Chains A and B, each alone.
Chain A
Amino acid sequence: MRTFGLLEKGDISLTKPLDSDVPDVATGFRRPQRSALGRRFRATVTAYGFLGPAMALVLVFFIVPGILLLILSFTELSSANFNDPWSYIGFDNFSRLFTDRFFPKILRNTFFYVFTTLILFNLGLALLLALVTTNMPRRAGFFFRLVWLLPRLTPSVVYILMWRRIGQADPFGIYNQLFPEFLGASGGNLFLGGSPWTFVILTNGFIGASFGMIIFTSALESIPKDLLTAAKVDGASLWRIIRDIKIPLIKWPLLFISTYQTLSLLTSFEYILLLTDGGPGLFTTEVWALTAYKRAFASYAGNSQWAFGATWAIVLVTVALILAVGYVKMFKFNELIEEPRIENL
């Protein structure tokens, strides 16, 4: 190597004694070398180090409970025989589940609830809100999205209380007061009498829509303005721009939200529990997840049938898993995954 004129010798103190002793020639440079296998191993260990905390939590609170749930579904554990060893009863719980008189109804309810809410609100309204609010002055759009986020900040009990007040019978109900003779108002209770499903879907939809709205909004805002200008210059109408440019460009978030919200809706029941508790009457708005919860924690005569609840849960989780894998395959999520552009460590 030629003289390295950047700095005079002795000008600076190198901390590595080895380097400063050895004259600054090519052979003086230390290059620790590992075997190819050793380096691969190290890289993998580093990656798993980063994933460690997440993996530990996933193991303890997803994998282990998942397996436990499966085991439980073959026992007859309940809060009554809680201290006894678990007794294996084979497929009894499953046959009990599938022969349940209300099983078909619950199944129908669940699918109706999930897909209606998903399409009307969590996807449809969310997309509409995102499109409309990004097409108006920034501040105005901002304001409407903020209001739409409020339900998310509200404690579930209070949020549902608000909806109950809206739908309650005279003289308490707000809807009945504002529109005494309008659109199905009869002075009676709207969520337990008139149209329970409307209320169940509205309450859930108002929460669900805001999630999609925010994702879609940021996706829409990240579309390069040039593209839209180009389309306008080409003479595309507002509708064509939305259909031909905006929607295709936010395909990925659309797919993610579809997947995420399907699974969320399938397993959520908190708002239904608080609003109608599956009523009015027998299983009118009862969904699968709610049944699982009620069997496990709030069953007859103070006896929580944990094992039976677990059976409902495990079957639902299985359905959700199949759906999730289906979505992953159908939407080809794997193909959207980019290979890291740093390989050698």
Chain B
Amino acid sequence: MRVEIKNLSKAWDGVVGADNINLDISDGDLVAFLGPSGCGKTTTLLMVAGIYKPSGGTISFDGQVVNEVAPKDRGIGMVFQSYALYPHMSVFGNISYPLKLQKVDKAGIKQRVQKVADMMGIGDLLDRKIAQLSGGQQQRVSLGRALVKEPQLLLFDEPLSNLDARLRLTMRGEIKRLQSDLGITSIYVTHDQVEAMTMADKIAVMSKGVLQAYDVPEALYDRPKTLFVAGFVGNPPMNFLDVEVTGSDGEFRARSEAIDLVLPPDRAEKAAAIKGKVAMGLRPEDVDLVSDASPGAAGLTLGGMVEGVEPLGREDLVGVSINGVEMRVLVDKTKGVKVGDNIELAVDTSKIQLFDKETEQSLLWA
């Protein structure tokens, strides 16, 4: 099912939940709503579900405006972070509830519930009470309850954030597979960007009720259009340095008191037109440790002192002070970087991002 959200807003006297959101979701896609806590993800989702009434704007399913359609008539299924299972009913009772309300006959209910439960891997738990299930099992029941009525749109509100890291990983894969197998259009709210990146066909990044970006995951990562998106997408987050970009004779340089880097022309051209400082973004993974600090590589490397090392397993997250400016970079663990070391970093300048500090818009991707 196609979902179109047009100029959607929600405010409770004074508090803004969602501000003029515009989104088109293609049939069968899984779209992730990603953003920091309190940015309006749940608010938007609940408006799509029909639980909240929009203050302005419209929501359409397949071209039909559904603002005034009751939640039960929208043909949606929803999975909640808290699972929201009915504790006084058994697993069977929970999954069959939507069908009972549709007055499906007894045999039909049994058959469909069993089928969905088997699909969820909880076929043998149907007689259990909810309190007798683990968190992961509860989440499967909740997913089953959402699926059993064959919804045309699935809504997920941080469904995995109450699970432990390992289970989250498994469930993530299962949900994604199920969703694409069944081809149900889905909206998936999360503040875990790895979840969003791996599962979503498209990601909607939100901040303070405003839709910041809406694009495929790679685009958000490689071509962030705003400072916020650049900073939010990617883990560990992008480093930002205040620099002045100047260009002469086809050579562009990014300079500040701390650094001096040569930039490729295709990246720097627009920034050079700006008088004063711009924000230069550099991902922690886009640097390489240069073994011998030869000064000859001026303009291509940055030298600094290691101030902290966080082992992340395969790599170390290294805090470097470059002439007083802090940066965090990823360095191969085998390099054995220690606090106090003086290191030289080669920068992959073809990956840097540049932003106007005032408008916070990208100077590379309009």
The interface of chain A, by Cβ under 8 A from chain B, is: 1-7, 11-16, 24, 26-27, 29-36, 38-39, 339, 341-345
Contacts and interface: CB of A to CB of B under 8 A. Distances in A.
A159 B301 CA distance: 92
Main SS at interface, chain A: loop
Given A14-B104, A36-B68, A344 B2 contact: no
Nearest to B2: A26
Contacts of B181: 5
A45 to B, nearest CB: 14
B104 A1 contact: no
Nearest to A339: B12
B44 interface: no
Contacts of B105: 13, 15
Contacts of A15: 102-105
A31 to B, nearest CB: 5
Interface in B28-53: 28, 50-53
B52 A4 contact: no
A7 B182 contact: no
Contacts, number: 89
A27 B63 CA distance: 9
Interface in B250-277: none
Given A39-B68, A339-B12, A343-B53, A26 B152 contact: yes
20 contacts: A1-B27, A4-B150, A6-B115, A12-B108, A12-B112, A13-B108, A14-B108, A16-B102, A24-B150, A30-B73, A31-B66, A31-B69, A33-B64, A33-B66, A33-B68, A35-B68, A36-B68, A39-B68, A343-B51, A344-B51
A26 B62 contact: yes
Best-buried of B1, B62, B70 by chain A (most CB within 10 Å): B70
Given A4-B182, A344-B53, A31 B61 contact: yes
Given A1-B152, A1-B183, A12-B111, A6 B52 contact: no
Interface of B: 1-2, 12, 27-28, 50-53, 61-62, 64-71, 73-75, 102-105, 108, 111-112, 115-116, 119, 147, 150, 152, 181-184
A224 B355 CA distance: 47
Contacts of A3: 183
A32 B73 contact: yes
A6 B102 contact: no
Contacts of A35: 68
State the majority secondary structure of interface residues on B: loop
Given A31-B61, A342-B51, A6 B150 contact: yes
Given A2-B183, A7-B150, A26 B67 contact: no
Given A14-B102, A344-B52, 12 more contacts: A1-B183, A6-B182, A14-B104, A15-B102, A24-B150, A31-B69, A31-B73, A31-B75, A35-B68, A36-B67, A342-B51, A345-B70
A340 to B, nearest CB: 10
Contacts of B1: 1, 26
Contacts of A5: 181-183
A6 to B, nearest CB: 6
A35 B152 CA distance: 23
Nearest to A27: B62
Contacts of B150: 4, 6-7, 24
Given A26-B27, A26-B152, A343 B52 contact: yes
A332 B52 CA distance: 27
Contacts of B27: 1-2, 26
B62 to A, nearest CB: 4
Contacts of A38: 68
Contacts of B104: 12-15
A71 B35 CA distance: 63
Nearest to A42: B70
Given A1-B1, A15-B105, A26-B62, A7 B115 contact: yes
A30 B28 CA distance: 19
A26 B2 CA distance: 9
B71 to A, nearest CB: 7
Contact of A7 (B61, B65, B112): B112
Contacts of A339: 12
Contacts of A2: 27-28, 183
- What 5 A-B pairs come out closest when comparing CB atoms? A2-B183, A344-B53, A26-B62, A343-B53, A12-B108
Contacts of B183: 1-5
Contacts of B111: 11-12
Contacts of B28: 1-2
A316 B223 CA distance: 74
B69 A33 contact: yes
B64 A31 contact: yes
A36 B58 CA distance: 12
Contacts of B64: 31, 33
Nearest to B104: A15
A2 B150 CA distance: 13
The listed residue with most A CB atoms (<10 A of its CB), out of B53, B62, B65, B68, is B68
Contacts of B12: 339
A6 B68 contact: no
Contacts of B61: 26, 29, 31
A339 B75 CA distance: 27
Contacts of A14: 102, 104, 108
Contacts of B70: 32, 39, 344-345
A80 B108 CA distance: 74
B46 to A, nearest CB: 8
Contact of A32 (B50, B69, B147, B184): B69
Contacts of A16: 102
Contacts of B68: 33-36, 38-39
A343 to B, nearest CB: 4
B66 to A, nearest CB: 6
A88 to B, nearest CB: 48
